[in-house]
């Protein structure tokens, strides 16, 4: 734990020029701090770790080793996007770990939400640690800590999945965006050439789809959730809501209802749509989605997603509902 105060004279990064100046300064600082040593980073593909990765790639290239753990709970296309952007386009040193079976086997039969979170968090640290031990001669651990993390939780990233590595793996921390607010991180990300969708993506919980596949996760229901969520995101992109709504997603509960398809009885899960607006996630209001958009989403999900036969809309603000269902 540590406390750091953002210097009063530090200008708020509000223009591409200021973002560029920050990048130039950080590149110099990182090179001074790291020298010719290697740096390890858990790269989830979220805004903060992606910006740190891009900054470090600019400063030290292949001395950075990014580890992307696919825990099977990411949204459709996310692991592929991380590989495409960082390995293919930015030529990063990226270790891709397919840990899908490991996570889903550990989660099998576990229905209690906090227990699910604990399993996902603990397994993530275990996988990351195993990968770190395979790599030799790494002296630094980079993290996407940002200023609100420091203000809110004494420097321990509240929702961050990487709880640090064991003592015997002594690594010095490298946290180049720790004095930045989220909007500044995004501006820096744009200047570093990261895709708009990656930099301006909606918040996504660390445990991912794990807390939206309600109750005990099964592979078929998780797949249905991933597909339904992808359709919701596509349609929000098409109608422009993706640019204005703070967070929108699908949750799929673990019960079925009776339906009919091709004149036959067809039992399926409901897909629950939730779209909320907030400034601090402490309270949230409901976005009003036009009916024609809702009809289109419903038609597509029920026609295209195996196992889903109804679409429901969650109209509950926070309070009384939390944003996530679990
Ligand atoms: P709730 O559900 O508490 O969510 O109203 C508030 C915000 O926090 C996100 N959230 C999480 N983020 N790990 C995370 O990294 C979690 O376990 C977690 N639970 C909720 C949620 O998506 C919303 O943005």
Smallest Cα–Cα separation from 90: which of 67, 61, 52?
Answer: 61
CATH 3.30.300.10, applies to 212-313: yes
DSSP H stretches of helix in 76-161: 78-82, 100-107, 113-134, 147-153
pLDDT at 155: 46
Q: What is the pTM of this model?
A: 0.94
Residue 153: other Cβ atoms inside 10 A = 14
Is there a common fold for 16-199 and 212-313?
A: no
Strand order in the sheet with 93-98: 93-98, 64-70, 38-42, 138-142, 172-174
Q: What is the CA(322)–ligand 1 centre distance, in A?
A: 9
Q: What is the CA(156)–ligand 1 centre distance, in A?
A: 16
Q: What is the CA(249)–ligand 1 centre distance, in A?
A: 12
Q: Which CATH fold would you assign to the domain 16-199?
A: Rossmann fold (3.40.50)
Ligand 1 neighbour 324 (Cβ under 6 A): yes
What pLDDT tens digit does each residue of the chain (326 aa) get? 567 899 999 999 999 999 999 999 999 999 999 999 999 999 999 999 999 999 999 999 999 999 999 999 999 999 999 999 999 999 999 999 999 999 999 999 999 999 999 999 999 999 999 999 999 899 999 999 999 999 887 544 444 435 567 777 889 999 999 999 999 999 999 999 999 999 999 999 999 999 999 999 999 999 999 999 999 999 999 999 999 999 999 999 999 999 999 999 999 999 999 999 999 899 999 999 999 999 999 999 999 999 999 999 999 999 999 999 99
| Strand partners of residue 284 | 318
pLDDT at 154: 58
Q: Give, using CA atoms, the residue closest to atom 19 of ligand 1.
A: 205
pLDDT at 167: 74
Ligand 1 neighbour 206 (Cβ under 6 A): yes
Name the residue of 212, 324, 325, 326 to mutate for ligand 1: max ligand atoms within 8 A of Cβ.
Answer: 324
Smallest Cα–Cα separation from 138: which of 52, 66, 49?
Answer: 66
Q: Spell out the domain ranges in the chain.
A: 16-199, 212-313
Q: Which two tokens stand for residue 239?
A: 């109608």
pLDDT at 158: 43
* CA–CA gap between residue 124 and residue 81 (Å, rounded): 20
pLDDT at 43: 97
Q: What is the CA(191)–ligand 1 centre distance, in A?
A: 28
Contact 115, 126 (CB under 8 A): no
pLDDT at 152: 81
Ligand 1 neighbour 203 (Cβ under 6 A): yes
Q: Give, using CA atoms, the residue closest to atom 22 of ligand 1.
A: 205
pLDDT at 163: 55
Ligand 1 neighbour 207 (Cβ under 6 A): yes
> Cβ-count burial of 69 within 10 angstroms (0-12 exposed, 13-18 middle, 19+ buried)?
buried
Strand blocks (E) in the chain: 38-42, 64-70, 93-98, 138-142, 172-174, 247-251, 257-261, 264-277, 285-286, 308-313
């Amino acid at each position: 734990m540590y406390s750091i105060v953002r210097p009063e004279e530090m200008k708020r990064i509000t223009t591409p020029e200021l973002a560029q100046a920050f990048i130039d300064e950080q590149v110099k600082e990182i090179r001074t701090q790291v020298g010719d040593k290697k740096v390890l980073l858990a790269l989830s593909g979220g805004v903060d770790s992606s910006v740190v990765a891009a900054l470090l790639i600019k400063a030290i290239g292949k001395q950075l080793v990014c580890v992307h753990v696919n825990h099977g709970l990411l949204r459709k296309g996310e692991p592929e996007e991380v590989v495409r952007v960082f390995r293919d386009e930015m030529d990063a040193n990226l270790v891709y770990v397919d840990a899908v079976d490991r996570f889903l086997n550990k989660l099998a039969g576990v229905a209690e939400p906090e227990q699910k979170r604990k399993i996902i968090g603990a397994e993530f640290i275990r996988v990351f640690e195993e990968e770190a031990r395979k790599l030799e001669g790494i002296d630094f651990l980079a993290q996407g800590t940002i200023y609100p993390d420091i203000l809110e939780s004494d420097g321990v990233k509240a929702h961050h999945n990487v709880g640090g590595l064991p003592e015997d793996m002594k690594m010095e921390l490298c946290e180049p965006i720790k004095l930045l607010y989220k909007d500044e991180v995004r501006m820096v990300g744009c200047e570093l050439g990261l895709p708009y969708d990656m930099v301006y993506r909606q918040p996504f919980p660390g445990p991912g789809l794990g807390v939206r596949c309600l109750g005990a996760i099964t592979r078929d229901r998780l797949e249905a959730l991933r597909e339904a969520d992808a359709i919701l995101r596509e349609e929000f992109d098409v109608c422009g809501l993706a640019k204005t709504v703070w967070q929108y997603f699908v949750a799929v509960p673990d019960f079925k209802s009776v339906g009919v398809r091709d004149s036959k009885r067809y039992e399926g899960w409901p897909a629950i749509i939730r779209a909320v607006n907030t400034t601090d996630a402490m309270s949230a209001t409901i976005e009003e989605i036009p009916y024609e958009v809702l009809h289109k989403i419903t038609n597509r999900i029920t026609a295209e997603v195996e196992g889903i036969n109804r679409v429901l809309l969650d109209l509950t603000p926070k309070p009384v509902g939390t944003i996530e269902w679990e």
